[in-house]
Structure 1
Amino acid sequence: MGTSIINDEKTTPSTTSPPDSNEVDNLEALGYTAELKRNRSLFTLLFQSLAIAAIPYGEGGPLISAIYGGGQLSIFVGWIVVLVLDECVALSLSELASRYPTSAGPYYWSFQVAKRHKTILSFITGWVWLIGNWTITLSVNFGFASLISATIAIYHPNFVASSWQLTLIFYAICLITFVICTFGNRFLPMVDTICAAWTAVSILIILIALSVSAKEGRHSASYSLGNYDTSFAGWGGFTFFIGLLPAAYTFSAIGMISSMAEEVSNPSVKVPKAMALCVPVGGTAGLFFIIPICVTMPPLADVIGAPSAQAIPYIFHMVMGSPGGGLGLTFLVLGITMFCSISITVAASRCTWAFARDQALPGSKIFSIVNKSLNVPVNALVLVTIVQMLLGLINLGSSSAFTAFVSVGVMALAISYAIPISLSLLWNKRQEVSQARWNCGHVVGTTVNVVALVWITFEVVLFSMPTALPVTEVTMNYASVVLVGFMAIAAIWYGIYARKVYKGPPSSDGFSNDQNTTNIPATSPAPAPASTPKLKPIFTPAPPKPKP
């Protein structure tokens, strides 16, 4: 690779210090002005990506899907399969993030690697990326509300939260997260570090507690890792793939960390490293979480009937044999989910701010403003919160709202990853990413690109399907409808106004693999900075031959 995945961490910039002059020059060479402080390091980026993955919540929140998908075999084998596939996605995105390290992320990458139709391709990518950020954040906060409701049921088994009660809990979570992300920005790198420690300790405690207690008994190794019951979903031989949903959901937001590129020093190396390390680190930790659950799992038919369709509180309660024991373990997962809510909301707000900065959103002038005293794009954060709260109203009319939110988020993020990866591989022939400071090389890079695109294609189909058959109006997966609706709004906006003002992000030749500088072609629409840095071109043309 152009740069090894692991090397020693250098000095971490102060949380209050202004950006280094080299970083400012580099960002200006990519076409933007530095507005955010670079207060994050490689490790805090990695911790934030792990906080977004939130292993116990990411796998545990939609665990019911894996039960429908056959049980232990789908949970265990599905986890390993998805780790391999999603690492291919992570490596593919890492190369692009290294070449073009800005908060704009996938839509900026699509613009740079496309040969033709750059503007419309970046607009489509940007809107799908934005929808994915909004809805995956919504799925975390709504899932958090469902988890709280299921936790109450540990002590009050007859309690079933009504749709409006669940919506109010969800609203409270959105508002609390908004306040923390707005006024606690300077402490968020520390919060991500605390989250990493909390998650590690929680997984260890859950591992020991379930293994020691096991009130529902301990299954044999063959049953714990190989039990496969196809009777719940009605999908026949396809049932196993339904069980992949929780694992795929856990690592679906791996690319969101790219939105933090303008808040870390040396982003062309640290951002791709954080992306590439998240899946193996999180995946290994996840095995210590799912194996004890598989070994001590109560009867699958009972788990499917868990309150609020949240399996984790029910499993903990049954396996521990007491409400207190179940509550204690569930509290650990609730803490992890709170950290996840904060981290993913921050990333979504940066994505929104970056897209508005390039005039792609209605009200771009408003949502591209950064509050100088708080060092936060507050207006973008407000928009993220309002969109979540409005979409949360879907819950009042459908009991499968959580499934829809999860599915839309995963599908939209996956599509936004696929567009720049496919453009880079098929259209650009990997010419740009091969020059990135952090790259996989031709053979490995091409392989992971192909695997990533095949997996994403299948993933989009998988998440558009209902979990179980037969399908009713209430249990239908409306993810495709929501996604198409969003894209219709984007198309109308583009036709009415955006096509007149959105010209794509600034052009740039990106970060090269032999220097920490960038190039700007003469045709770049980006405004020139006041003092243009001296930049060494990646390719130096030969001098003209003298005339005879």
Structure 2
Amino acid sequence: MSAKDSADVDAVARVGLEKLGYKQEMSRSRGLVHILFMTLAIMAVPYGLAAPIATSLIGGGPAVMIWGWVLVSVLTQTLALSLAEICSKYPTSAGAYYWCYRLASPRTRVLASWINGWLTVVGVWTIALSVTFGTAQLIVAGAGIYYPEWIATAWETYLIFLGVTAVASLFCLFFNKHLPAIDIICACWTFLGILVILICVSIKAAAGRHSISYALGHFDPSYSGWTPGWSFFIGLLPVWSPAYTFSAIGMITNMAEEVHNPSEILPKAITWSIPIGALSGVVFLLPILFTLPDVAILLQVSSGQPIGLMFTLIMGSRAGGFGLWFIIFGIGMFCAISISCAASRATWAFARDKAIPFHRSFSKISPYLDDVPVNALLLSTVIQVLLGLIYLGSTAAFNAFVGVAVMCLGASYAMPVAISLMNGRQDMHDAPFNLGRFGTTINAIAVLWIMFAMVLFSMPAVIPVTRVSMNYASVVFVGFGVISAVWYLINGRLYYTGPSIPKESTDSSESNRSTSPLRM
């Protein structure tokens, strides 16, 4: 695209954004390739499948890992299609809480938008936290390859987490204009890394090789203590965690105001990312399943992170194991940068609509740091640092971060889709990316899947439950809910009136809903 064509497209996008109620404050610098690769960077498939691999091994092993991945990929595609449709009509960084406001009835829109907005910001904060924290645990696992006798204390892990968080935040602060290029580098690193792992693991197989029946069908739920059926779903925890794979796909909508022609590009990026991610996940998993070391040995790792030992045993040497570990670590760092960037945009957008305390400060864009919402980024980072302190009291904290992120983001995505369904999808008839006659079925499957996932991520990975193995996600989820409710009573109900919508747009939406057989 020439510079003139790009300027013309951006001018159209700017006018479209003004019709949605906002002024253009950020530069549009991302095309389809950039935003698609950013989506893949946030998904970080190899990192997402490898970092929490212990949960899949506990849940049942190879059968859970491969077929759970396929199942989740198919179900998540319905969510991606549903979000892409709504996003194509309302491409703004406000994302899901804006959609709820536009789709809900006048009687419920403000409260629905408030609830959704807090679900969104809590979700993006905890997802970014789970990525940076998971990368810190990955560093501990990498050190364990050469120093197996070293057992990191909670404080040592927390300090490593602070280092990872600092690196990600510094990139977002000072290299914002280079982030699209960094996302492209991440994509190249990921795809080449998957290829390297495929070749090296398949050739070495120092821990032995398994038959196709084992790699694709072995299922042992004894480690979890759950019944076989539920154990299978417990093993899905890593592959649906927003920090690790698909459930953060909606976060790129928070980048809408930095994308050329967002009504066309964002839906493509969201929908294409799922099959690309699914295929790369299969290619990554299969060689590992055919060469998987003894599960009992892997689960005995003191850090609870067996990836370093797994690669070392497969490669037959520490150097080989460290080399493959480094590939995963690189993907984790790229993911931390991209997800921190998207989290800052979600925080900034919600502050712009006066829903966050001290919103005037957190809604500012720095004119000195390439259009970075500095204060919103710092707020997101500080909250992650404070939440990370939970780990000092309970090593089950990481599972809580993952679980609450799934629950919050899943609920925030489900709300506008469910509202659209209840309105008979009247508002989606003129969406540029339209699901047509299959829309109702696709939307319904997406909502039901998210509801089930929210229950799933409230459950502990093993039983009987102890103080250490307890899943505290539901506690954190309710805690944030109480905080947002109290703030609404104190401040929100007085000052939050929802996104700033032009009157003609509001009248049009209400007219559409008045003809709907079902109304919120």
Q: TM-score of the superposition, structure 2-length normalised?
A: 0.95
Q: 1:399-414 residue pairs with structure 2 within 5 A?
A: 399-414=395-410
Displacement of 1:311 = 2.6
Q: 1:246-395 residue pairs with structure 2 within 5 A?
A: 246-249=238-241, 250-374=245-369, 375-395=371-391
How big is each residue's C-alpha offset from its partner over 1:474-494, in whole Å with a ceiling of 9 and x where there is no partner?
A: 211000000110111111111
> Which one of 99, 111, 123 corresponds to residue 109 of structure 1?
99
Alignment check: 8 A CA contact 1:30 1:507 kept: yes
> Which one of 414, 419, 434 corresponds to residue 418 of structure 1?
414
Q: Does 1:203 align with 2:194?
A: yes
How big is each residue's C-alpha offset from its partner over 1:491-519, in whole Å with a ceiling of 9 and x where there is no partner?
A: 1111001111100012369xxxxxxxxx6
Displacement of 1:198 = 0.5
Q: Which residue of 1 aligns with 2:118?
A: 127
Partners in 2 of 1:328 and 1:414 — Cα distance? 35
Change (3 A) 1:479 1:315: same
Partners in 1 of 2:385 and 2:77 — Cα distance? 32
Letter in 1 for 2:172: C
Q: Which residue of 1 aligns with 2:518?
A: none
Displacement of 1:11 = 5.3
**Structure 2: 5+ residue stretches without partners:** 514-520
Alignment check: 8 A CA contact 2:426 2:512 kept: no
Q: 1:490-529 residue pairs with structure 2 within 5 A?
A: 490-507=484-501, 520-521=505-506
3-state SS of paired residue (1:20)? helix
Q: Does 1:100 align with 2:90?
A: yes
Displacement of 1:402 = 1.0
Displacement of 1:307 = 4.2
Partners in 2 of 1:54 and 1:327 — Cα distance? 19
Partners in 2 of 1:14 and 1:337 — Cα distance? 36
Partners in 1 of 2:224 and 2:174 — Cα distance? 45
Percent of paired sites with the same residue: 49
Alignment check: 8 A CA contact 2:129 2:384 kept: yes
Partners in 2 of 1:508 and 1:55 — Cα distance? 40
Q: 1:30-49 residue pairs with structure 2 within 5 A?
A: 30-49=20-39
Displacement of 1:21 = 2.5
Change (3 A) 1:468 1:121: same
3-state SS of paired residue (2:497)? coil
Change (3 A) 1:469 1:362: same
Change (3 A) 1:317 1:13: farther
Partners in 2 of 1:235 and 1:47 — Cα distance? 38
Displacement of 1:523 = 9.2
Change (3 A) 1:184 1:13: farther
Displacement of 1:313 = 1.5
How big is each residue's C-alpha offset from its partner over 1:73-104, in whole Å with a ceiling of 9 and x where there is no partner?
A: 00000000000001111111111111100000
Alignment check: 8 A CA contact 2:400 2:473 kept: yes
Q: Which residue of 1 aligns with 2:458?
A: 464
Q: Does 1:478 align with 2:472?
A: yes
Alignment check: 8 A CA contact 1:95 1:440 kept: yes
How big is each residue's C-alpha offset from its partner over 1:263-285, in whole Å with a ceiling of 9 and x where there is no partner?
A: 01110111111000111001101
Partners in 2 of 1:159 and 1:508 — Cα distance? 60
How big is each residue's C-alpha offset from its partner over 1:219-267, in whole Å with a ceiling of 9 and x where there is no partner?
A: 0000011000011000112111111111112111010010010001110
Q: Does 1:226 align with 2:217?
A: yes
3-state SS of paired residue (2:232)? helix
3-state SS of paired residue (1:435)? coil
Partners in 2 of 1:188 and 1:445 — Cα distance? 34
Q: Which residue of 1 aligns with 2:15?
A: 25
Partners in 1 of 2:294 and 2:348 — Cα distance? 47
How big is each residue's C-alpha offset from its partner over 1:336-375, in whole Å with a ceiling of 9 and x where there is no partner?
A: 1110000000000000000000000001000000001221
Partners in 2 of 1:141 and 1:14 — Cα distance? 39
Alignment check: 8 A CA contact 1:68 1:230 kept: yes
Alignment check: 8 A CA contact 2:9 2:261 kept: no
Letter in 2 for 1:239: S
Alignment check: 8 A CA contact 1:178 1:385 kept: yes
How big is each residue's C-alpha offset from its partner over 1:110-160, in whole Å with a ceiling of 9 and x where there is no partner?
A: 010112310000000000011110001100000000000010000011111
3-state SS of paired residue (1:306)? coil
Q: Which has the larger radius of gyration?
A: 1
Partners in 2 of 1:132 and 1:59 — Cα distance? 20
* Cα RMSD after superposing both structures: 1.9
Letter in 2 for 1:403: N
Q: TM-score of the superposition, structure 1-length normalised?
A: 0.90
> Which one of 449, 456, 480 corresponds to residue 455 of structure 1?
449
Alignment check: 8 A CA contact 1:129 1:412 kept: yes
Alignment check: 8 A CA contact 2:82 2:446 kept: yes
3-state SS of paired residue (2:331)? helix
Q: Which residue of 2 aligns with 1:244?
A: 236
Displacement of 1:12 = 7.8
Displacement of 1:310 = 1.6
> Which one of 70, 81, 85 corresponds to residue 75 of structure 2?
85
Displacement of 1:13 = 8.7
> Number of residues paired by the alignment?
506
Partners in 2 of 1:437 and 1:294 — Cα distance? 42
Alignment check: 8 A CA contact 1:214 1:320 kept: yes
Partners in 1 of 2:362 and 2:416 — Cα distance? 25
Partners in 2 of 1:180 and 1:313 — Cα distance? 27
Alignment check: 8 A CA contact 1:12 1:40 kept: no
3-state SS of paired residue (1:437)? coil
Displacement of 1:434 = 2.2
Partners in 2 of 1:207 and 1:12 — Cα distance? 41
Partners in 1 of 2:502 and 2:273 — Cα distance? 28
How big is each residue's C-alpha offset from its partner over 1:429-457, in whole Å with a ceiling of 9 and x where there is no partner?
A: 11112211011112x21111111111111
Partners in 2 of 1:51 and 1:57 — Cα distance? 10
How big is each residue's C-alpha offset from its partner over 1:286-332, in whole Å with a ceiling of 9 and x where there is no partner?
A: 11101111111111111112342223222111100111000001111
3-state SS of paired residue (2:462)? coil
> Which one of 452, 476, 483 corresponds to residue 489 of structure 1?
483
Partners in 2 of 1:494 and 1:293 — Cα distance? 49
Q: Which residue of 2 aligns with 1:172?
A: 163
Alignment check: 8 A CA contact 2:410 2:454 kept: yes
Going by fraction, where is helix more abundant, 1 or 2?
2
Displacement of 1:538 = 10
Change (3 A) 1:482 1:521: closer
Letter in 2 for 1:479: A
